[in-house]
A = this chain, B = another copy of it.
């Protein structure tokens, strides 16, 4: 569909740079009280709440590195590009408020394709209640690239860094792990089947959760308010979209602590377990290293245990130890093995 050069489609060069930006950003509404001026000037203007600090994060998504348009609908891609950034804002225990969206697109994309992409971006902005306040749109020689910067805010006391974990703190993860990676494996398998036999009708019913986690992930907007409601301030927090094991290592390194992670505590969805069996892969490896789970990892003081235990959104998966004890996985067989980061690496060539 994307490659369609059907003359009824509108070429982006017909609109020109300013026309295209105007076309894509019309009807964008401003809802945040801190947005003084959105799109339409040299820069957006935001007001500051004197009691709050600002958080800023940015992410690039590149075609054929981070996404494959043969199974990623453009609308979902736009949605996901926003979610990926907001996840980093929530990982600071902040609320997200504004985003800027920059696109580089080759001429193989008609305006209608960019409309789809923008529809996903706008939907995410609406659902996550952030204003689109700026951006840039330009050509690329090949492919599509999306660069989003997200802004958020929280009081100084609320903001949680990676480096505050202390010995004996509990290690907690939100949601469940490994599904997004398995969703990608299922989609890649179906793509190969389709290439061999375009008439094959895949039965994706057993994998709906996995595919949704891959194509339409959600960021944990609910976690900062949930923690506030539970009266729990994490001692350290990090987004684990690059993989649980690499992010545990980051958190421990920056906090100068060690940790024990318990294999039997890692939260897995039943579809992850059954699909790992089908693909004959180890579910723990997937949960540790699969990545793209936009969940949050955090540490809390032991005294907060009663406040979080049994919460369906939170799993206690380990505890913090002294730095010299290192970072270990305690297996189901009660073996202690060093945790190794094998997370997803965007600068390594894909095979």
A residues contacting B by CB (< 8 A) are: 12-13, 15-18, 20, 36-37, 40-50, 52-60, 62-66, 88-89, 91-92, 94, 98, 100, 102-105, 107, 133-143, 145, 147, 149-152, 156, 159, 161-163, 237-239, 246, 254, 345-349
Contact = CB atoms under 8 A, between A and B. Distances in A.
Most buried by B among A44, A104, A107, A246: A104
A42 B87 CA distance: 9
Most buried by B among A54, A133, A238: A54
15 contacts: A12-B347, A13-B347, A15-B347, A17-B347, A44-B55, A45-B55, A47-B53, A56-B100, A58-B147, A58-B149, A60-B138, A62-B140, A64-B141, A141-B142, A142-B142
B58 A347 contact: no
Contacts of A49: 48
A351 to B, nearest CB: 12
A46 B58 CA distance: 14
Contacts of A15: 347
A91 to B, nearest CB: 4
Contacts of A345: 16-18
A334 to B, nearest CB: 31
Contacts of A42: 57, 88-89, 91-92, 162, 237-239
B17 A60 contact: no
Instruction: Kindly report how many copies of this chain are found in the complex they form together.
Output: 2
A56 B45 CA distance: 6
B134 A56 contact: yes
A35 to B, nearest CB: 10
Contact of A41 (B40, B92, B348): B92
Contacts of A104: 60, 62, 65, 145
A58 B349 contact: no
Contacts of A102: 58-60, 147
A93 B194 CA distance: 56
A50 B55 CA distance: 16
B65 A139 contact: yes
Contacts of A142: 141-143
Most buried by B among A13, A65, A238, A346: A346
Contacts of A44: 55-57
A151 B36 CA distance: 15
A267 to B, nearest CB: 21
Most buried by B among A45, A55, A238: A45
A47 B162 CA distance: 18
B43 A92 contact: yes
B149 A100 contact: yes
